[in-house]
Structure 1
């Protein structure tokens, strides 16, 4: 029997991608049940001005208004409800996502938008991504925003677009801040598309010279959208751990002809601090060597994280859940790495789960594993957090992520 992890899907991904852009409001054309959790999740993922919105489309919840279709609407059509909803909005852009059932009605969405009093731009999602991986919907929605909004301009060799940091990732703001500090240290200008940027940021991003990825699965289509504007994308590698972040900085610097030294100097401050703490602790600093871990991450960040844990702490995998969307080349590379450390049996279709020292998974899944004594330490990566309100971000990327993971592992290890 394997663990069946509950994950956010592509339907959620599309709506939250639209919410990630300041000045853009996601709109749900469908029944209220599809909205019941999304409006709250949007408020937790990205902070905006608080206001109570009343009326039949909001019910005091200001995020992701919904048309609240009923049974008669599925028979007679409900585009009039969408017109009325759009007339209540003041955002620059409305991104309309239809629920799977609503998309079968055949409502004339563009006509509804035209008949409304909405003064901004309406973008209607081209396809529904329910039951697909979360990153598919997130990437698709972001790419549609770029296709519709981005204006091609003369290139600025110093401007860089950073793609692939979803707002669903705990600590995404800290990751944006850290990577932006490296880019600024190289005397470059960055725009983080799909990660809290504004509508105008996307409009003006057409003058960038290059895009660089962070989590590539979140920006495949978006990269293609920018290529249609003549802006290529480089894969900088996933900035996990100190070495991975260093390679990300160096890859960007090489692509644009910048000097990475100042950025690497900033990174090395964290790296040297971590090394000093581990070495000066003597035997306590060896506490995690040869410890075991398990992973259930819906991301290709799984392999670089596994490599960092082995190279930095000599940790070995107990179980690593394989995602059905990983391609053959990625799996072959993963198997080669695991064979090299004599852990080739760690790849499994789903966690059993076996007892391990550290569990890397979505926050709720990881916490459940620790509660059930499946692991000693639970570290939330990507998936839904256990925090109802986020006051402090908990990143796993970059130097901040490496320091946080180290802190969590040694904190709970000492207590146990």
Structure 2
């Protein structure tokens, strides 16, 4: 009997040990699953932040202590529905036009928790500051930036777009918009939060226009007695989900700003609300966004109506509908070309966005793009075929400056574009 009891005790001890090992195994599996999810989310965020620049370029920037110096030079070929000139034009019949596009200098500073970025760009006939801020990294999840920095609005730094042309949000100042102020970012396990206050837009620099020599689109005071952006507030929240192989970033963006009158008209204001989502499955990315915005302006402004607002960038002013809905969608696929020594990856994409204007006398403005981005070391090349019935950079027969406003011609035009970028 004593021998049986000893065997039973041994079995019970083994069973107890087995249960403990099973519990440890389940705990370890849960921890590994959580770590893998966090890794996938981290990789998704990293890809999103770097996708519009060469993600595989070597870190060969010149270093001066804590300061890195780099830049880029880009050239552009364009051909499309443009008037014939008999010279170097972009017309199909003239064979298109190849010209220097951009030269830029980048400074990146990092010294412990202290950060800073500066970017200045030169184009043909005008130049401007793109970025200029100093920051502090509290820890891996919290950061603050003060200066000219990117406004937190939309699913990522470039909205839903992967293309060289962006989507229509950009031309409304609602993606990749730079303004002067302070921005605070905080990440948790499942959320990214951004809160920002901007005292003004990024300013105008050297060019032929009065206030439009700048990188991103803002309300501009071209007449001297129009409106200027002041006291803008932004809030963005993005929730991260993981369902098997599908990662989802579901978010919202809010924006409100004052429009300071420099003439006899009353002050105005502007607000925008947006819902957006990124879905990632393997190498596919589906980005969707729906935005409503309104500029509340006085009909006594220099434009003579409260249905339009004056905006500008790249040294060209234009008019924009004061109120509209803006849906946008983009589907892309990243293919890593490990079998090709001369190419790192190619990313084909298809995009569509449309400005649905609330003024019934205005025609809507759509933009559709099919293209691909090609990365090879320091080279990053865009090849895009775009069609639009209301974008200032697609086609040349319609009157410039009205296409996001009344868009009276409502004429579909096309442009094929190749942008060659070398980053150093």
- Bin for the TM-score computed over the shorter chain: under 0.3
Structure (1 or 2) with the larger CA radius of gyration: 2
The TM-score, its normalising length taken from structure 2, stands at 0.26
Q: Is the helix fraction higher in 1 or 2?
A: 1
Between the two structures, name the one with larger relative contact order (CA 8 Å, sep ≥ 6).
1
Q: Is the strand fraction higher in 1 or 2?
A: 2
